[in-house]
């Protein structure tokens, strides 16, 4: 769920998911009448269908605004009044049902609705939705930004919202002029009638919204699009480029205090004793309170008039921690254990006939490879934060949330107020990559616990709980550490005879409400996505899921962060060993079943000059192609290695995401993803633990790519009129393997460890 886009594997949902959702909605209706809202009922609900957890009947009925004159057949997310507000001056404010955290979705969905509305784009604004039922994902029934599903799942929804609004405006104009609808047309925010007379949308809006909402509407033919498919600057571009964009961290409420929390050094640790005298002596510090934390831990919060006083107070605390009985993870030992486990067959995720697997032993050529991938932090530019203002019977939560419905329920449970009394004010986020979509709502519940403890201490003021960069790095959730082992047998022509593959890594959903439908036969589907496809291979794939005292979560492009690397570098090794062109081998293995992959790869090859252009001395091509979240991205890169240091010079990407609603956004997502993917290759791009404690704390010891590392990235899109697929996450997976394949051509050796270690 990126995530830009969150790193959340919704595409692995089984076909029966909607049955879970319906069951969960029934449970929601029962629980919503239970004033006690017991933890047992919450857990019961989570088990029967977590994807309905964000629905407003439980989360926030108080936030609902039921549209007038809506036919019974329309659902909340199909009714314009919740999404479209037209002022008398013609300004159109559109409510977007997704978190804007850099991926440009507020512009993308606004373009879709404005297209069918025939709006004047210069007068369009976009704002966040909340936990109202109208703003749930129409496909999955919960409030969610993740898995690159925003445009994919809401494309038709927002087109229909625009078309319904336009129809209602036309009806109002028809009544005003007493003219048949067939004599009217729309253009850039105006109704044009007989004789050329006009009415603006602003003049008609009040009357239009009283019209009956049409149940069925005709949508435009894509050939008539004026906005969709046009490269369009983002609605928030000016605010972000001038520093005037407000984020969750910028929330200011009257009398608000800021809290900074001392987290235990080992996950799940508790406070044994605390000396807070020095903290309380710092000017501006108002209180020091002990507070429950995520994963059964306990922390100490310092509340002050501002961040700096709270931070100084937190640093002045003398806390003795109780870590008795907790596993204290050591990364060196953990890697060795994983490597041993990878030698054994685990739970089988992909089966292959025994006679095919038996060909491995007698194969003319073999590759035996082992790969390791470290824990990774999300490292969002804006650290986590959540502001809580509440009384005994209601609460206002201000935060950037990828799952506001679920977070609102978690807040209600923590604060002890009725779910319908919680209003969540969704704020723009400075990045997410999945970190703001946590099944346990960790940073929201932490903020609620702090606010609750403050009230017990006699402080009746809003409290903003703010994480430092070090908190984000040391006390968060991480992309799991993985080890892969592959045994491949093939012939002189590169025909793969057998492939035996094992993956070792923690499950990111086991123990969460999502386990019921993301884990099958003990196998977390988020870990195996991206393996084998689109290639016709006789592969047996098995997995091991060790339990480790390190919290893990989806991270931009989820399982594809490691599966793409393994698949695409191993295929290159087969190509080199059998003296084949790596592009030709991929095309052959795809067969005739994957035209989108082939189109993306061929486009990248053609635009890069691969195989035709002579590269400067010391440079080599690298190729990779991968599908994630229903979009395909191929990359052809140019790289060099000087004195053992690899350098990425240029990336040419071919993208197949079906219809590109905003080509500028596709370009930006691929460029940003490429840079994030490059970060995973650089020395220091790893979270490591010693004696149970995370060793990294800030950008000085946790590497992210800098501007000097950024290569030229050219993005080319395969033309298509089919409904769009996602782009927040798919640009990341092919970068690292394409880079590695170029390195292998220069050095004769594929990097098998991330980040790269060439020495």
| pLDDT single digits (tens) 138-186 | 999 999 999 999 999 999 999 999 999 999 999 999 999 999 999 999 9
Residues 285 and 403 in one domain: yes
| In a domain? residue 199 | yes
Residues 208 and 265 in one domain: no
Residues 212 and 254 in one domain: no
d(CA 263, CA 387): 18
pTM, two decimals, is 0.91
The whole domain housing 95 covers 54-232
Instruction: From residue 126, give the alpha-carbon distance in Å to each of 77, 106, 115, 123, 230.
Output: 17, 6, 14, 10, 18
The pLDDT assigned to 517 comes to 87
Residues 163 and 228 in one domain: yes
Contact 432, 56 (CB under 8 A): no
**Strand (E) or helix (H) holding 499:** strand 496-505
d(CA 147, CA 73): 29
Last residue of a domain, one of 172, 198, 232: 232
- Assign residue 185 the CATH number of its domain: 3.30.365.10
d(CA 550, CA 310): 27
Q: How many domains does the chain have?
A: 2
The region, left, alpha or beta by phi > 0 then psi within -120 to 50, assigned to residue 225 is beta
Residues 83 and 167 in one domain: yes
* HEC profile of 274-332: EECHHHHCCCCEEEEEEEECHHHCEEEEEEECCHHHHHHHHHHCEEEEECCCCCCCCHH
| In a domain? residue 674 | no
State which residues of the chain have pLDDT below 70: 1-72
d(CA 741, CA 624): 8
Residues 395 and 421 in one domain: yes
The pLDDT assigned to 703 comes to 96
Radius of gyration of the CA atoms of the chain, in A: 27
d(CA 292, CA 445): 9
Residues 166 and 274 in one domain: no
d(CA 36, CA 595): 55
Last residue of a domain, one of 416, 449, 474: 474
| In a domain? residue 304 | yes
The pLDDT assigned to 70 comes to 53
Last residue of a domain, one of 232, 259, 283: 232
| In a domain? residue 71 | yes
d(CA 67, CA 79): 7
The pLDDT assigned to 10 comes to 37
Instruction: From residue 145, give the alpha-carbon distance in Å to each of 142, 511, 629.
Output: 10, 21, 13
Q: What are phi and psi of 211, to 5 degrees?
A: -75, 155
CB atoms within 10 A of CB 509: 24
Structure-token match 């635009």, residue found: 607
| In a domain? residue 366 | no
Residues 284 and 195 in one domain: no
């Amino acid at each position: 769920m990126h995530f830009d886009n969150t790193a959340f594997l919704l595409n692995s949902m089984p076909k029966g998911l909607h049955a879970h959702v319906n069951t969960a909605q029934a449970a929601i209706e029962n629980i919503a009448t239970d004033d006690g809202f017991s933890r047992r009922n919450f857990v019961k609900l989570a088990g029967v269908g977590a994807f309905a957890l964000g629905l407003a009947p439980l989360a926030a009925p108080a936030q609902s605004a039921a549209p007038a004159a809506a036919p019974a057949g329309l659902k909340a997310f199909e009714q314009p009044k919740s999404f479209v507000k037209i002022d008398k001056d013609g300004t159109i404010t559109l409510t977007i049902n997704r978190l804007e955290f850099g991926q440009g979705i507020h512009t993308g969905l606004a373009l879709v609705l404005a297209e069918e509305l025939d709006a004047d784009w210069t007068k369009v604004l976009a704002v966040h939705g909340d936990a109202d039922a109208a703003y749930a994902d129409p496909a999955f029934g919960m409030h969610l930004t993740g898995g690159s599903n925003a445009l994919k799942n809401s494309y038709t929804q927002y087109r229909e919202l625009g078309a319904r609004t336009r129809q209602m405006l036309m009806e109002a104009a028809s009544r005003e002029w007493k003219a048949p609808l067939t004599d009217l047309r729309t253009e850039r925010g105006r109704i044009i009638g007989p004789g050329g007379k006009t009415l603006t949308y602003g003049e008609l809006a009040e009357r239009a919204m009283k019209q009956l909402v049409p149940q069925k509407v005709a949508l435009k033919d894509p050939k008539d699009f004026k906005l969709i498919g046009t490269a369009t600057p983002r609605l928030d571009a000016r605010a972000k480029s001038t520093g005037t964009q407000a984020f969750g961290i910028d929330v200011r409420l009257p009398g608000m205090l800021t809290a900074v929390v001392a987290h235990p050094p080992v996950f799940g640790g508790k406070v044994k004793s605390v000396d807070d005298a020095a903290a309380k002596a710092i000017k501006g510090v108002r209180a020091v309170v002990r507070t429950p934390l995520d994963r059964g831990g306990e922390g100490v919060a310092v509340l002050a008039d501002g961040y700096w006083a709270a931070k100084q107070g937190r640093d002045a605390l003398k806390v003795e921690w109780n870590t008795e009985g907790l596993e204290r993870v050591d990364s060196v030992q953990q890697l060795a254990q994983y490597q041993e486990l990878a030698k054994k067959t685990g739970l089988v995720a992909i089966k292959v006939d025994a006679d095919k697997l038996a060909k491995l032993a007698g194969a003319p050529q073999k590759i035996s490879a082992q790969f390791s991938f470290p824990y990774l932090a999300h490292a969002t530019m804006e650290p986590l934060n959540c502001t809580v203002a509440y009384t005994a019977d209601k609460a206002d939560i201000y935060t950037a949330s990828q799952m506001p419905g679920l977070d609102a329920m978690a807040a209600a449970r923590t604060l002890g107020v009725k779910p319908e009394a919680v209003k969540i004010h969704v704020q723009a986020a400075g990045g997410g990559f999945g970190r703001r979509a946590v099944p346990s709502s960790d940073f929201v519940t932490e903020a609620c616990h702090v606010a609750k403890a403050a009230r017990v201490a006699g402080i009746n003021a809003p409290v903003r709980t703010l994480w430092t960069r070090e908190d984000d790095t040391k006390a968060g959730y991480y992309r799991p550490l993985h080890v892969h082992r592959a045994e491949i047998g093939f012939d002189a022509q590169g025909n793969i005879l057998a492939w035996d593959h094992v993956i070792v890594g923690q499950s990111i959903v086991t123990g969460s409400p999502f386990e019921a439908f993301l884990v099958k036969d003990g196998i977390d589907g988020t870990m195996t996505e991206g393996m084998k496809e689109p290639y016709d291979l006789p592969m047996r794939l098995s997995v091991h899921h060790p339990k480790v005292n390190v919290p893990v979560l989806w991270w931009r492009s989820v399982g594809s962060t490691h599966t793409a690397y393994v698949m695409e570098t191993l295929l290159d090794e087969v190509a080199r060993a059998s003296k084949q062109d790596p592009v030709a081998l991929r095309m052959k293995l795809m067969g005739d079943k994957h035209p989108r992959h082939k189109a993306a790869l061929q486009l990248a090859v053609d635009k890069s000059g691969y195989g035709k252009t002579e590269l400067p001395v010391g440079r080599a091509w690298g190729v990779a192609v991968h599908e994630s979240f229903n979009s395909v991205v191929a990359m052809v890169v140019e790289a060099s290695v000087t004195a053992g240091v690899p350098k990425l010079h240029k990336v040419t990407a071919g993208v197949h995401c079906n219809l590109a609603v905003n080509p500028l956004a596709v370009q930006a997502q691929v460029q940003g993803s490429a840079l994030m993917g490059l970060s995973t290759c650089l020395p220091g791009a790893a979270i490591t633990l010693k004696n149970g404690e995370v060793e990294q704390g800030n950008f000085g010891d946790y590497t992210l790519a800098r501007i000097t590392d950024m290569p030229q990235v050219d993005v080319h899109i395969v033309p298509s009129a089919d409904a769009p697929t996602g782009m927040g996450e798919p640009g990341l997976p092919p970068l690292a393997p394409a880079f590695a394949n170029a390195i292998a051509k220069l050095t004769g050796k594929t990097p098998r460890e991330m980040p790269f270690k060439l020495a």
